[in-house]
Chains A and B, each alone.
Chain A
Amino acid sequence: MKYLIALAARSAWNRRATLSLVVFSIALSVTLLLGVERLRNDVRESFAQSVSGTDLVVGARGSPLQLLLYTVFHMGEASNNMDWSSALKLASHPLVEWMIPLSLGDSHHGYPVLATDQRYFEHFLYGERQPLRIVQGRRFQGIFEAVLGGEVAENLGYKLGDHLILSHGTGEMKLAEHADKPFTVVGILARTGTPVDRTVHIGLAAMEAIHLDWQGGAPIPGMSIPEQYVTRFDLTPKTITGVLLGLKSRAAVFRMQRTINEFHDEPLMAVLPGVALAQLWELLRVGEQALLAVSALVVVVGLAGLVAVVLAGLNERKRELAILRSVGAGPRHVLALLTLEGLALTLSGAVLGIALLTVLSLGLAPWLEGHYGLTLHAGALTPEEWQLLAWVIGVGCLASLLPGLRAYRLSLSVGLTPRV
């Protein structure tokens, strides 16, 4: 057996030009398959990490998924607002440990602006229940002060003390700007690998202040309130987008959810982040599966290529097989030889594919992190990835039996004196 392996290796090495192409195509297909799986898992992981510390997300009644996507991930369409007074009532509810108010709507160079208050820095948890950390400067205190997510600061090159102007609304098109009320960067947050990195944080009062002379998405003509006068106005928000709640006991989460869903003052909705995310994945499942199926098909194509190449080579190798037969190899040796060859090619393809995936993961990680806030893991394979790989190798093993069996039959019929 050991000698057969050596022999298979020598024989394959002899045909390395053709076979390396086969290995490469299998490697690419493995990279694609595992890459799709990895991306899928890391996206999920990434989403789950962003709300790890939050028990409930609360907002005006509507679509739970939309609320979660908008408030936590700053994606999708704006949900309706809820009253500030409701938020305060929730904060003082006996089951609630902390409440973080969130108010969205403006942006800066495509990065969302989140208006919140000190509670955000105190209570927000991400990842493995880690708190936010300010690496430079401090939290906002004055009105026109901003704390930047790590990525915003890095990509836009802001330092402490720099000024920035917020745009009204979100989106790609040319937006109206709050040019009369520039903000000063007073703090920069450590990277978290969550949407926080891509967010400009300001106070709730600041949000009110920049919209004092605005109405319905545009400055009120002829009215302009200089920044030094804004404090003369009441800057308490009337409405906000939503709140994040942390409960004293996780066990109370369903009770609290019911309480909020039956809230008296206005129609509110409480969403369990995990449940809403599960809903999202359920929605995306067909797409994910289609993607996975296509990648699996690409693997099948790669393996079919392997079978075709090994089978095609068999005709020229009749001599080789006859010689092996003459020195005492049985048909089962021939079967083993060819199957081993196919298996070795599959394995090399898989190993190369993993290498390629690792290189790609390492290479693309910064870009994905930068553009999508997605942390791609580049280390060891996950159990799911191993499972996929085992499938590939299993199918490769079966596919390799084809040329093996063909050679077996050939060695029975051709005998020691093949005709060419």
Chain B
Amino acid sequence: MSVNPVIVLADLTYAWPGQALCIDIPQFRLEAGERVYLHGPSGSGKSTLLNLIGGVLVPRSGQARVLGAELGSLSSAARDHLRADHIGFIFQQFNLIPYLSALDNVLLPCRFSAARRRRLARESPRAAAQRLLQHLDLAPQLWQADASTLSVGQQQRVAAARALIGRPEIVVADEPTSALDEDRQTAFLELLRRECDAAGTALLFVSHDRRLATHFERELALTDINRATRLAP
């Protein structure tokens, strides 16, 4: 298939200050438009890995390439730019800024990234945000509501819209469904998949829960690719 990786990790290591190695990944690739399910037990370093990919943490050694750019060689401002332009994040919970409306939350990446605004082409950021919210089944009367007044499920959908606005190449989801009940988990995953497909976005989905793997093309155990956790007691 596509041989155009959006993420390439090679011999990547990371350790939190004063701790043993947390990440030691000899090799990992995420192809363009691919959907990968990465699972691992709590504390295995999933969130740490996402911080590395987001360029918020700096690897101790090895390579982390995002869209061909070697993160280690970029300045922190350039890494922030790369993240803003090309990666959408969805987290476990508390994804939204409570004092902004749902719509304003979705628009946030466009404030920080000219590239995302540009990719919207003729569509205004506002119209794009509204379209995404509509696709993600959020009723229009909730768009102007303060994020803090939304239910958890609604918040996660707003977060998904925010990750997807301006068609980033990569969406990284860190257990976004763990606070939802089973029916809603499935519904949310379907929506997310559909939107990623529509935008041609690669999805890296991490969870400690293996049950959701059926929704994905490829399933990986972090413990298999991360030598650090394999060695851990």
| A interface residues with partner B (beta carbon < 8 Å) | 3, 10-11, 13-14, 319-320, 323-333, 415-417
Contacts and interface: CB of A to CB of B under 8 A. Distances in A.
Contact of A328 (B80, B91, B95): B80
Contacts of A326: 54, 83, 89, 91
B84 interface: yes
A82 to B, nearest CB: 76
A349 to B, nearest CB: 21
Given A14-B99, A325-B56, A328-B83, A416 B112 contact: no
Q: Which 5 A-B pairs have the closest CB atoms?
A: A328-B84, A14-B99, A328-B112, A330-B80, A326-B89
Contacts of B83: 326, 328
Nearest to A2: B111
B74 to A, nearest CB: 12
A327 B112 contact: yes
Interface string B101-121: 000000011011100000000
A328 B113 contact: yes
A10 B95 contact: no
Interface string B74-90: 00110011011100010
B84 A327 contact: yes
B99 A11 contact: yes
Contact of A417 (B50, B98, B109, B162): B50
10 contacts: A10-B99, A327-B108, A327-B112, A328-B80, A328-B85, A415-B54, A415-B56, A416-B47, A417-B47, A417-B51
B99 A416 contact: no
A365 to B, nearest CB: 42
Interface string B41-60: 00000010011001011000
Contact of B97 (A324, A330, A331): A324
Nearest to B58: A412
Contacts of B54: 326, 415-416
Contacts of B81: 328
A378 B82 CA distance: 55
Among A14, A325, A329, A416, the most chain B Cβ lie within 10 Å of the Cβ of: A416
B138 interface: no
A256 to B, nearest CB: 73
Interface residues of B, number: 29
B56 A416 contact: yes
B100 interface: yes
A327 B162 contact: yes
B192 to A, nearest CB: 16
Contacts of A10: 99-100
A369 B174 CA distance: 70
Given A3-B111, A10-B100, A14-B98, A332 B57 contact: no
Contacts of B111: 3, 327
B96 interface: yes
Nearest to A419: B47
B73 to A, nearest CB: 17
Contacts of B96: 323
B94 interface: yes
A276 B98 CA distance: 64
B97 A323 contact: yes
Contacts of A333: 112
B149 to A, nearest CB: 13
A417 B76 contact: no
A330 B83 CA distance: 10
A320 B77 CA distance: 19
Nearest to B159: A323
A77 B54 CA distance: 80
A406 B94 CA distance: 22
Please indicate which of the listed interface residues B80, B97, B113 has the most CB atoms of chain A within 10 Å of its own CB: B97
A331 B55 CA distance: 12
A330 B76 contact: yes
B207 to A, nearest CB: 14
B91 A330 contact: no
A134 B51 CA distance: 84
A327 B105 CA distance: 10
Contacts of A14: 98-99
Q: Which of A14, A328, A415, A416 has the most CB of B within 10 A?
A: A328
Given A328-B84, A416-B51, A323 B99 contact: no
A327 B109 contact: yes
Contacts of A320: 97-98
